[in-house]
């Protein structure tokens, strides 16, 4: 009896697995000059998608429709396609699932390696546990990837060089009391102008001038004012 019981304990627990049947695999590409998305729905689970914002590298997100994901760390792999016998999986490390979240996020480095893997026939595979403690596997299939990836690249090629978060706290440096904008300062201000032309939701620019602690308070206040006016005049000259 003992030997039979021991054998039963040694049996691996079955996993709850989600993957879209090969004949139903679809990739979608959407985006604009601010963000591009490359996504595949996972039947019965949710969606896996690559997201690239302007000025940033790609990230990968696995979004569940229900509370399948327990809090903690999941294992991320670039897994060989079932029809590619002999091709090994690549372990890409751990991704964290926050508490009370229906999603997990891979790092830009992991996302880049996943995209490379998809081009080689390896799809993202996430191994985790459900909130009830059952083993969970979610697989993104690499089928029909190449054409969608080309459309995704076309989208990313038109992204702006910066996003709002990267521009909203821009600092412009001046040399001594010189009120002439440097080449690097002009390039940064031009990036803001280009962004404003694309994003009609931004309707206000706040310019605040500063100086260092040298000199007296009145002269420093005037320097600060002149620096702010120089930046303001640049925006006015650009029609913003």
Which class for 33: exposed (0-12), middle (13-18), buried (19 or more C-beta within 10 A)?
Answer: middle
Distances (CA, A) of 235 to 88, 204, 205: 55, 12, 9
Nearest to 139 by CA among 10, 9, 16: 16
What pLDDT, on a 0 to 100 scale, did the predictor assign at position 137?
Answer: 95
| Location of structure tokens 């039963």 | 8
Provide block-wise average pLDDT over 10 residues at a time, the chain (240 residues). 37 76 96 97 97 96 92 94 82 91 93 96 94 91 96 97 92 80 91 92 84 68 85 88
Q: What angle do CA 60, 124, 22 make, to 5 degrees?
A: 120
What pLDDT, on a 0 to 100 scale, did the predictor assign at position 213?
Answer: 59
Report phi then psi at 77, rounded to 5: -130, 155
7-59 pLDDT per residue, tens: 333 334 568 999 999 999 999 999 999 999 999 999 999 999 999 999 999 99
Asked if residue 173 lies in contact with residue 189, where contact means CB atoms within 8 angstroms, the answer is no
What pLDDT, on a 0 to 100 scale, did the predictor assign at position 189?
Answer: 92
What pLDDT, on a 0 to 100 scale, did the predictor assign at position 3?
Answer: 39
Instruction: Please tell me the number of Cα atoms within 13 Å of 136 on its side-chain side.
Output: 21
What pLDDT, on a 0 to 100 scale, did the predictor assign at position 215?
Answer: 60
């Amino acid at each position: 009896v003992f030997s039979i019981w021991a054998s039963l304990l040694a049996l691996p627990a079955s996993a709850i697995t989600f993957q879209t049947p090969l004949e139903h695999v679809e990739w979608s590409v959407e985006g604009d000059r601010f963000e591009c998305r490359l996504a595949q729905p996972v039947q019965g689970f949710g969606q896996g998608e690559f997201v690239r914002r302007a000025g940033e590298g790609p990230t990968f997100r696995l979004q569940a429709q229900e509370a399948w994901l327990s809090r903690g760390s999941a294992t991320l792999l670039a897994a060989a396609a079932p029809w590619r016998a002999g091709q090994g999986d690549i372990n890409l490390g751990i991704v964290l699932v926050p508490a009370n979240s229906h999603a997990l996020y891979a790092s830009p480095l992991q996302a880049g390696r996943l995209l490379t893997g998809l081009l080689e026939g390896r799809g993202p595979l996430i191994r985790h546990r459900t909130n009830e403690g059952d083993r969970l596997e979610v697989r993104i299939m690499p089928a029909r990837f190449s054409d969608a990836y080309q459309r995704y690249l076309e989208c990313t090629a038109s992204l702006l060089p910066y996003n709002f978060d990267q521009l909203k706290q821009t600092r412009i440096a001046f040399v001594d009391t010189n009120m002439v904008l440097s080449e690097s300062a002009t390039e940064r201000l031009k990036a803001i102008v280009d962004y404003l032309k694309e994003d009609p939701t931004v309707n206000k620019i706040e310019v605040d001038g500063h100086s260092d602690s040298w000199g007296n308070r009145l002269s420093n206040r005037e320097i600060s004012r002149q620096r702010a006016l120089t930046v303001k005049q640049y925006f006015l000259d650009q029609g913003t």
